[in-house]
Chain A
């Protein structure tokens, strides 16, 4: 059962990012930071790992004069997240 757990989601931050993106459309950097309570650098490195795995897609644009980066889960990312959740649930003792 343990083998089914996704290695990429061993980090609490990455799993948290996927949890937020699973139930939202585009979410920007500042809101992710606020929800997860992590630093900018920490969040950025985890996001780029997820981006590399094609689990999230990135959108950069300007809101007024300020750059704004938003993230969204890809179909593959959403699937991987759900499979990981199922795997965690599989670890729970059956009632």
Chain B
């Protein structure tokens, strides 16, 4: 019986507790702030593209865009906007999640958080390099669908270790990415939808479901 091997029994219990722990401190507000920043970034990008007429007459042929000596200037500016949005969104997510983890008492960097981060980061890193390759080969039109697809798959992969809503957010991003792959030229629109609207929607859902109710039942 268990009493004969207390060492093994304790190790088994520890393993079970460790494997089953999900990272639950993820704040829905981080999704909302990321969505607002995403929409803002998309608006700035739209404005820049209108100002500089960064629109290919035929979005399916990229040769003309690549040959234009303004190609890398535009790519750099647009990538800069995207990076600024990303950095601000990650900082916002970090801040709201830190605030929430103080409230729930769950450590911000425990085994569950590390598992979540690694499972999210691996597909994202692969997607990031793939998008650089797309730009390199002069295929900017495929970048928006590719970011949505890889981001969605990363979320899907990481959802096992955190709140269930992340799974649905991931599936929605993948679907949107697939639709966007057939609608090249409307990349910015799908981008605003995926990184803006979906984040705000699921972020609000997570906040309403987990955080508002949590504050009212903590005394139980």
Which A residues have a C-beta under 8 Å from some C-beta of B?
2, 5, 9-10, 12, 15-16, 19-20, 22-25, 27, 31, 35-36, 85, 88-89, 91-92
Q: Is the CB of B6 within 8 A of A92?
A: yes
Q: Is the CB of B20 within 8 A of A24?
A: yes
B67 at the A/B interface (Cβ < 8 Å)? no
Which B residues have a C-beta under 8 Å from some C-beta of A?
1-3, 6-7, 9-10, 12-13, 16-17, 19-22, 24
Bound-state CA distance A35–B19 (Å) is 8
Bound-state CA distance A35–B6 (Å) is 21
Q: Is the CB of A20 within 8 A of B9?
A: no
Question: Can you list 30 A-B pairs, Cβ within 8 angstroms, ordered by A?
Answer: A2-B3, A9-B2, A10-B2, A12-B9, A12-B12, A15-B2, A15-B9, A16-B12, A19-B13, A19-B17, A19-B20, A20-B16, A20-B17, A20-B20, A22-B17, A23-B17, A23-B21, A24-B20, A24-B21, A25-B24, A27-B20, A31-B20, A35-B20, A88-B2, A88-B9, A88-B10, A89-B10, A91-B3, A92-B7, A92-B10
Q: Which residue of B lies closest to A21 (CB)?
A: B20
